[in-house]
Structure 1
Amino acid sequence: MKHKIYIGLMAVLALASCKKLEVEAPEFDVTTPKTTYKVGEAVNFTFTGNPDLISVYRGIAGENYDFRTRVTATGIPQLNFTTLIQNTGETNTLRLMASTNFAGKYDPAGIAAATWTDITSRATLSTGTDNTASGTIDLSDFKSADKLYLAFKYQGYFHPTLKQPSWFLRTFNVNNVLPEGRTSVIAAIGQVGWVGVDVKNPSVVWGVPTTGQVTINGTGTDAINTDNEDWVISRAFNLSSVSADTGLGLKTATTVLTDYAYTYTTPGTYTVTFIATNASRDDSSQIVKQIKLTIEP
């Protein structure tokens, strides 16, 4: 008898564990005393209901609810990087190159088959000072293309006395500056995907660590003093790519929240979006509430 009861109890528990944990739609609303405020004046949002989760898109740059799934946008693509040169001797050994038709074949033939634009004149390169800033390099003339590859071309030559220098790339950032004022990172230095290609003189090649801080040493102990050409080429960049806007989490299931305050620092019209969610391991239900605010100077 006990055995039958035990089996029956286990069956009930098994059925309970298999049952989907459904949730009810959250009860939630949000109000403000008014909809027009001054810059620097706190906006107080009052909540009713107690959903498991509350998040907010405040309508500021990077928190636009309408852009929560956006992955591309037309902005101003920009590049900046920092460099160091050592063992100076030969000049004009480093060139910044760009291509919109490189086919991704990282070898001398692939480089030769592509059209490359020399954009070195847009950048400031180190003359001996570490972390020399390139300045902001506008890449807008390339943004109509589906892809852009960036590269550094190192070119030395035989000389009886002048050294082929060493170059160090410290930082490298490709950004999309969006109309709303937000800068979306397309790639930082560790995400560039550098690939080194030796074209001439295999005793000198680009070092490509996982950090992306590539280096080349034309005066290393194994370097042969002869004509030299080496490239280090990025992955393909989509200059219109952006990261989706995200909201700010305000409440979790273990907390109670009755209000929230935020102060806007720039005049304008803002659509503030609150998302209230009830959730279980199997199910979720949410509602969206929006308030349009005018912020005056």
Structure 2
Amino acid sequence: MKKSFLIFLAFAAAACSKKMQVDKPDFNVSPDPARQVADTFVYRLGDTTRFKFTGTVGNIAFYSGETGKRYDSRNTTYKLGKLTLSFSSKSEWGTQKNTLQVLATNKLTGYDSASVVNATWKDISSRGTLATNATVTAFGVADLTDLVAGASDSLFIAFKYSGVTGSTQRTWTITGWAVNNVLPDRTVPLSSFSADVAYWTRFGNVWNPANARWTPSATDLKINGGNAAAPSNTSWVMSKPLYVGRIAPDVSVGVKSINEPDKAEYTYVYPAPGVYRATFVAYNHTLDEDKSIIREFIIKVTP
């Protein structure tokens, strides 16, 4: 009885240790040979690029080679171009001056109010134009690249409001907020009101009513000033950390999944002239193993 039990355990262990095997993909792609000039396939804008398939494979993904759809950029990368800030502002009611500052830092040690207020902030108000009245005024496009150490750095941007008792305090509205990493081939958005409405953080001395503090929305930031009898008010609102050089992975289009029959071809229409590296990734996989094959072609689209 004991010997039989040991044999059973040996068979069970062998079964558990055996990996699920996967076959290497049998897959080839053929663009239209009539379009081939040397190592490039040439099409006119609006033409359909047609890729013929042969072989059997479980999954196929396609990277067109356009910005955001490149195989070589399929992983998160870091690259810093020109870091820009733009927004518009208006200032209503009262005549108090210098009630708004635009500040930036890459040296924030904590998120509590003391850490924020005591951080080493750079006043960047003079890098653009702030409103002086109720006319909406464009700040301009400010270059902030010098404020960060490199592509892996982060930056915080804040608005600091100061209102003084004794006269009507000003009401400020900020619209059109955008922070971008401008690269030669693309512009990577880092912050906008619609994307970051939930990520603004408020600090400072706040008096009642509650609208005397910064209020973020999907379209603007606003702070309402008090009347002449209102207490002095200092209020901050700060952006989320902006990872200045982080570029999200490029994405592919799923051409075939494992539960679909083999496909004879794939077609694609490029939306703009240019030279593109079209990449097909064919792969079979199990929980234990993954095998893939790559087919690439240079596609030139002329006007």
Q: TM-score, normalised by structure 2?
A: 0.74
Given that residues 192 and 212 in structure 1 are in contact (C-alpha distance below 8 angstroms), is that contact kept between their aligned partners in structure 2? no
Instruction: Tell me the amino acid that sits aligned with residue 25 of structure 1.
Output: K
Specify which of 277, 288, 296 is matched with residue 290 of structure 1.
296
Residue pairs, 1:1-297, within 5 angstroms:
20-33=19-32, 34=35, 35-81=41-87, 88-91=93-96, 92-104=98-110, 106-108=112-114, 110-119=116-125, 121-122=127-128, 128=134, 136-144=141-149, 146-160=153-167, 162-165=168-171, 167-169=172-174, 172-180=177-185, 182-189=186-193, 190=196, 193-198=199-204, 200=205, 202-203=207-208, 206-207=213-214, 214-219=221-226, 225-255=230-260, 256-297=262-303
* Structure 2 residue runs without a partner (length 5+): 1-7, 36-40
Q: Does the aligned pair in 1 maintain the 2:214–2:237 contact within 8 Å?
A: no
2:5 match? none
Amino acid at match of 2:50: N
CA distance in 2, matches of 1:84, 1:61: 36
Offset of residue 121 of structure 1: 4.8
Q: Do 1:195 and 1:208's aligned partners in 2 also have CA atoms closer than 8 Å? A: no
- The unaligned stretches of length 5 or more in structure 1 are 1-7
Cα pair distance change 1:253/1:120, threshold 3 Å: farther
- Give secondary structure in 1 for the equivalent of 2:25: coil
Structure 2 distance, partners of 1:147, 1:29, is 44
Matched residues in 1 for 2:275 and 2:283: separation? 26
- The alignment's C-alpha RMSD in Å is 3.7
Contact 1:85-1:168 at 8 Å conserved across structures: yes
Residue identity in the other structure for 1:94? L
Identical-pair percentage: 28
- Give the CA deviation at 1:134: 5.2
Q: Does the residue aligned with 1:293 lie in a helix, a strand or coil?
A: strand
The verdict on how the C-alpha distance between 1:176 and 1:110 changes in structure 2, with shifts beyond 3 A counting, is closer
1:5 aligns to what? none
Secondary structure of the structure 2 residue equivalent to 1:148: strand
